[in-house]
Amino acid sequence: MKPTVVFVGGFLGAGKTTLILAAARELKKRGMHCAAILNDQSDALVDTQLAELHSLPSGEVTAGCFCCRFSDLSAQLESMLQHRPEVIFAEPVGSCTDISATVLHPLLAQHEAYRVAPFTVLVDPLRAMELLRADADEDVAFLFHKQLQEADLVCMTKSDLHVSCPEPGAVPIRQISASTGQGVAAWLDEVLAGELSAGKDVLDIDYARYAQAEAALAWLNFRGAFEPSVPVSPAMLLGPWIDAIVRALSGAGIRIVHLKAMATAPTGYVKAALCANGQEPVVEGTLDASPATTHEVTLNLRALGEPAVMTRIVEREIDRLDGCWNERAVRCFQPAAPQPERRVLREEIAARN
C-alpha cells in the first residue's frame, strides 16, 4: 500500500505536534506504523525531541518552510519509507501558508509513491477570538486567515478547555482535543478514508504581503547542555527559567506568539508551552523526575519584537542559571521572503484533472 501523507497545518501554538503524537498512539492501537516530518525556519526543535521521546520515527526539514525546501521534504519522505509506515504526518511551519499550491499539488503531481490526505488546519479557539477582532495584529491575522482559506478540513483544538468556539467562516469545523483524545479517532478516519480530495483550491496570495507578514515575527531557537551547581530536577530547572524569560520579554514590550521549551535529563524530561504573555504554561512530561547533574535545554520562541532585544534577554537569563554550560547556541532572526521551489497554478490543476 502507498503510505498516506497527512499534512497538519495551523498557526503557531494550535497544537499540531500534540495532535500528531495523539494520532500516532491511536494508529499504534490499530496495529499501524507511522512517522512524522517536522518543519521549522531554524534547527534545534523541541518538537523533534518530543517525537523521539515518544518513539515516533521522525525527520526534519529546517532552514525554511516546506514550500521553499520541497526537495528536502521529498528526501525526508523517501527516508521515512525505511520504517515502512502506513501514515506519514507532516507539520508545516506555523507561520506558513500557500501549502496547497506549493506542497500538496507538487507532491500529487510528482510522487506516485504516496497518497496525499486532505489538508487539515488546526485552530486554537483563543487565538481565533484574538485574530477575528477588528484590532488584531494585521500581519498575524493575514497569515491566520490565509491558512483557513486553503484548508480542506478545519479542526478547533483544545475542546476540553473551550466548549464554545468562534466561527471563522471556513469549511465545516470539527472539534478535537489531543490531550483527552476526543475526536482524534474520528479525524483519522476522515483523513485516511480517501473520500475527500487534497488541495481543494489554491490561494490568491500577494507574496510581497506574505513576506511582510512573516518578517513581522522574530524566531529564536536555543539549545545547550547545562550542568547545575546543585542537582536539580527538569521541572525545577525549566519552570523558574521560563517564568523569568516571560517576565523579561513582557517588560521589554515583546509580545509572545508561541514559546516552547524542554529540559531533558537522565531522570526524565519536562516540556512547557504558552501562546501569550501572562498565560499559564501547559506542562507535560515526568514532572516528578529526580534531580540530575546534566540537562539538555531547548527553547523555541516566536514573538513580535526585535531579534537583537530577544537575544539579549534570553542570553541574560541563560547566564543567570547557577551552573555551567558545556555548549550553547542561540540563533534569532526574522524569516526571509518565501521563495517556493514550485508553485502549481489553477490552470495546471485543471489540466491534470
Q: What percent of the chain has pLDDT over 90?
A: 83
pLDDT value for 241: 98
∠319-324-328 over CA atoms, to 5°?
A: 70
pLDDT one-digit tens code per residue, 194-248: 888 898 888 999 999 999 999 999 999 999 999 999 999 999 999 999 999 999 9
Residue with cell 484574538: 130
The reply to whether 257 and 306 lie within a common domain is: yes
The reply to whether 184 and 291 lie within a common domain is: no
The reply to whether 115 and 81 lie within a common domain is: yes
Rounded mean pLDDT of 135-148?
A: 95
Domain span at residue 146 reads: 4-214+337-352
The reply to whether 318 and 347 lie within a common domain is: no
pLDDT one-digit tens code per residue, 27-58: 999 999 999 999 999 888 999 999 999 999 99
Residue 2 has pLDDT above 60, yes or no: yes
Query: What is the secondary structure of 52-118 as a DSSP string?
Result: HHTT--EEEE-SS-TTTTHHHHHHHHHHHGGG--SEEEEE--TT---HIIIIIHHHHHH-TT-EEPP
pLDDT value for 353: 64
pLDDT value for 215: 96
pLDDT value for 109: 83
Number of domains in the chain: 2
Q: What is the CATH number of the domain that holds 114?
A: 3.40.50.300
Cell numbers representing residue 126 in the block: 483563543
∠274-279-283 over CA atoms, to 5°?
A: 50
The reply to whether 169 and 270 lie within a common domain is: no
Average pLDDT, the chain: 93
Contact 241, 25 (CB under 8 A): no
The whole-angstrom separation of Cα 158 and Cα 18 is 10
pLDDT value for 42: 87
pLDDT one-digit tens code per residue, 94-105: 999 999 999 999
The whole-angstrom separation of Cα 107 and Cα 290 is 46
The reply to whether 35 and 172 lie within a common domain is: yes
Rounded mean pLDDT of 273-280?
A: 95
- How would residue 191 be classed by pLDDT, with cut points 50, 70 and 90? very high
Strand partners, 38: 60, 91
The reply to whether 229 and 205 lie within a common domain is: no
Q: Which letter does DSSP use for residue 35 in this model?
A: E
With 0-12 / 13-18 / 19 or more C-beta atoms within 10 angstroms meaning exposed / middle / buried, residue 111 is: middle
- How would residue 163 be classed by pLDDT, with cut points 50, 70 and 90? low
Residue 271 has pLDDT above 80, yes or no: yes
The reply to whether 161 and 240 lie within a common domain is: no
Instruction: Tell me how far apart the terminal alpha carbons of the chain are, to the nearest angstrom.
Output: 23
The reply to whether 73 and 169 lie within a common domain is: yes
The reply to whether 40 and 150 lie within a common domain is: yes
pLDDT value for 164: 64
The reply to whether 81 and 186 lie within a common domain is: yes
Q: What is the CATH number of the domain that holds 271?
A: 3.30.70
Rounded mean pLDDT of 90-97?
A: 97
The reply to whether 125 and 246 lie within a common domain is: no
